[in-house]
Amino acid sequence: MTTTSAPGAAPGAGRAARGPGASAVAVLRLQTTKRFETFGSPLVVLGTGLLATALVALVVWRATPAGSGTWVEVSRGLQLVLWWLVGYMGYNGVQSVATTFPLALTLGTTRAAFTAGTVAHHVLVSAHVTLVALALLGLEQLTDRWFTGVHLLDSRLLGDGDPVRLVAILFLSQLAALSLGGAFAAVWVRHGPRVTFASGVAVVLVLALVAALVVPGVADLAGAFRLWWLSVLAVAVIAVCALVQTLALRRAAVR
Amino acid sequence: MSTTPAAATGGPAVRVRGATRRFAGAPALDDVTFDVAEHSVCGLLGRNGAGKTTLMSLLAGHDRPDAGTVEVLGEQPFENARAAGASLLVRDDQRYPDDFHLAHVLRVGPLFHPAWDAALAAEVVERFRIPSKPQVKKFSRGQRSALGILLGLASRAPLTILDEPVLGLDATARGHFGELLVREVSEHPRTVVLSTHLVDEVERVLDRVLVLDHGRLVLDAGVDEARDRAHVVLGPAEAVESATAGLRALSSRRVGGFLELVLEGPAAPATARAARAAGLQVRPAGLQELVAALGAGDAEPPATPRPAPVPSATPAPGAPR
């Protein structure tokens, strides 16, 4: 059935106005509108991780003979902050796409602008936490390990006190976790839970296959290992995840 | 609100031609063609699964048709920044980010819609008593609808699309919605497309109605024109059958010895006089009754008071669906 309510009227080409919603900046501001969740919660995770490390070191100090130094080694080896932040950022990445995308479309934005704004949000959050951690590392070194000798951010996996390595490790690991979460959420939005689950299984299988191929030469690899390898790997993961998010959301419908 | 073609200042705001959308091979929309005049209020009616939300998704660029074309304000809407910035679709099951509160909604609205009216948003909050403390995901059904109304009205988006905006609202709030919508559209003209099952509640604010059934457009008419599409004859079954012999019935309902027929077209004066003389009720069909008669209404539409519990309505044999 065809009925024209404005007979003979041509569609007014170009009457649609370009709103700020079309820009990635508006999406970035949408993503950061929950200020505490965006900027406060990761710091709570960071602080809790540091506190937990200190408490474990305290327990070890009490449990070992005086002057053994074991507790210092334990605090240097604990990487609670890194794992907790990575876990939290994984969740953050998922919700930044899965529950924010429908509202962004409702408010009036394009998928391309949403993806760009979300990636910018991920970079911003990672940089924010990294800068705070860097400041804390400076404080840790200024206070001679918090006046006690305990190593919180000056730990092995976080660069042994090297600020450049700390920045690279923390920034890239968080950004990679946010990107992975965002990519899986984008696949979920586009294809639903079954394809997302299958994608997760596929990723695990690929990783297992790579591990099986690498294991025979692991000793040689370990000898030649350089930290920048991980940086390259993280950058590759981030790039692939951004691509997946872009491709998945490009045709995603909200239903 | 009356039909106001004069309000259409620059061609149709929405132009849909042969739009078809399938999900898993099943058509959710099937070759739908219509226009919506600029600055008009259009009601999208039909049963659950009729294709209303799918159609609104196409208009808002949230989805795109498998066949046919959709134009909004002169632009195809899918992944088009100009069209996206000019439209807003609030779904009946609208999702919000985790930990979202009313304050967040009020903060992000103006980012996307430059004409956002903060004073109007505050008025909606007050009138609908939208709470500020609980997370949006803990809102009641009515509170979520009120939040959607806030977004839709305060945005002043040139094309505002509301999916079941009054779902779960109490009678007072539904009254507020109608009043605010009429005021907004008259003071700040824009095109509004809204879907609802509560046809009688929103009939007065509509300029035009589109009725969908099984993905097909079965009625596209101005509200006044739609009212003339059918009339109702009610009374003792034998008398009704006798008075309406030869007339085309869109639907019938029999309760005990009583029969109610929804008949195509307006009642002819002579027929109406004869029917009334025989003690029958004759009246224009309401929009809800017409929608039901077209096979697109809820299974048990509101009906004239009758002496016994009302069984389900059945379309008359041969009635178009």
Q: Domain ranges in chain A?
A: 21-191+225-250
Instruction: Kindly determine whether residue A18 and residue B219, on different chains, have CB atoms separated by under 8 Å.
Output: no
With CA atoms as reference, report the closest residue to B314 among B259, B240, B265, B277.
B259
* d(C-alpha A248, C-alpha B80), whole Å: 17
B70 — pLDDT class (breaks 50, 70, 90): very high
* d(C-alpha B105, C-alpha B260), whole Å: 48
Residue that wins the pLDDT comparison between B244 and B297: B244
Q: What is the rounded average pLDDT of the residues B153-165?
A: 95
Domain ranges of chain B: 14-225, 230-284
A190 touching chain B per CB within 8 A:
no
Instruction: Kindly determine whether residue A30 and residue B219, on different chains, have CB atoms separated by under 8 Å.
Output: no
Quick one: pLDDT at residue A146? 87
A24 touching chain B per CB within 8 A:
no
Instruction: Kindly determine whether residue B84 and residue A100, on different chains, have CB atoms separated by under 8 Å.
Output: no
**A111-144 pLDDT per residue, tens:** 999 999 999 999 999 999 999 999 999 999 999 8
Tell me the Cα Rg of chain B. Answer: 21
Locate the chain B residue with the closest alpha carbon to A25.
B111
Q: Are A105 and B62 in contact (CB under 8 A)?
A: yes
pLDDT reading at B148 higher than 90 = yes
Instruction: Kindly determine whether residue A12 and residue B38, on different chains, have CB atoms separated by under 8 Å.
Output: yes
Closest Cβ opposite residue A21 in set B73, B85, B94: B85
CATH classification code of B14-225? 3.40.50.300
Residue that wins the pLDDT comparison between A65 and B280: B280
With CA atoms as reference, report the closest residue to B294 among B193, B233, B234, B221.
B221
Tell me the pairing of strands B249-255 and B258-264.
Answer: antiparallel
B33 — pLDDT class (breaks 50, 70, 90): very high
For chain B, what percentages of helix, strand and coil (3-state, to nearest 5) are there?
35, 30, 40
Instruction: Kindly determine whether residue A250 and residue B107, on different chains, have CB atoms separated by under 8 Å.
Output: no
Q: Could you list the beta-strand ranges (E) of B147-207.
A: 159-163, 191-195
Q: Are B206 and B200 in contact (CB under 8 A)?
A: no
Instruction: Kindly determine whether residue A108 and residue B5, on different chains, have CB atoms separated by under 8 Å.
Output: no
Locate the chain A residue with the closest alpha carbon to B151.
A107
Q: Starting at the edge strand that comes first in sequence, how are the strands of the sheet with B12-23 ordered?
A: B26-37, B12-23, B67-72
Instruction: Kindly determine whether residue A3 and residue B88, on different chains, have CB atoms separated by under 8 Å.
Output: no
Of A4-8, B150-154, B220-224, B316-320, which gets the smallest average pLDDT? A4-8
**A168-187 pLDDT per residue, tens:** 999 999 999 999 999 999 99
- Least Cα separation, residue A44 to chain B (angstroms): 16
Q: Report the predicted TM-score, pTM, of the whole model to 2 decimal places.
A: 0.82
- Least Cα separation, residue A12 to chain B (angstroms): 5
A26 touching chain B per CB within 8 A:
yes
* d(C-alpha A221, C-alpha A252), whole Å: 41
The answer to whether the complex's ipTM is over 0.90 is no
CA dist B92 to A155, B7, B86, B147, B164, Å? 51, 28, 20, 11, 5
* d(C-alpha B85, C-alpha B98), whole Å: 24
Amino acid at A98: A
Locate the chain A residue with the closest alpha carbon to B10.
A12
pLDDT reading at A95 higher than 80 = yes
Instruction: Kindly determine whether residue A19 and residue B113, on different chains, have CB atoms separated by under 8 Å.
Output: yes
Quick one: pLDDT at residue B152? 96
Q: Are B280 and B234 in contact (CB under 8 A)?
A: yes
- Exposed e or buried b for every residue in A106-144, given b needs 16+ CB within 10 A? bbbbbbebbbbbbbbbbbebbebbbebbbebbeebeeee
Which residues on chain B are in Cβ contact (under 8 Å) with A6? Answer: 5, 8, 11-12, 35, 37-38
